Amino acid sequence: MRPEWMVGAAGVLVVLVAIVWRQVYRNRVRSQVDRALRDADPARRRAAVGVATEQGLRTYARVLAARIEAETDPRVRAALVDGVLRNAWEPADRPSILRLRLWAHEERQREETSAALPYRRPTPPLGLPRHRAPAAARFPAVAGGHA
């Protein structure tokens, strides 16, 4: 055998080992993030959302999209909205990314709309008298004899 061929074969082998190692490492990280997204502790889920969205939506889009219906904690949902909207530069070339983006925009719109609604004092049900403060409480100057 020629030494040049041996060096070339060793180089190809090193590249193949590196590719396999990287894939195994990525799968391990994905499974850790996936487990953290399903953890019982909301703080851990929120941290996992942060890690996943910092990595980019493409890698975790399917897992994050599954969290939309399953997530009940408002802080985790808010972190998910912020993370998805922060990655607006990524192309929405996958259905899961598009679903995340649409959901995040709807959630943000809902938050802004509910924050903009004016406060209305609830009215008592019909047939019940309204509570009225005594005249002394409504007009303190009159109650004290000072006109």
pTM for this model (two decimals): 0.61
Q: What is the mean pLDDT of the chain?
A: 81
Distance of CA 127 to the CA centre of its chain: 45
pLDDT at position 125 is 56
Q: Which of 3-12, 47-56, 79-88, 121-130 has the weakest average pLDDT?
A: 121-130
Token pair 């530069």: residue: 89
Q: Is the pLDDT of residue 96 over 60?
A: yes
Token pair 């897992």: residue: 63
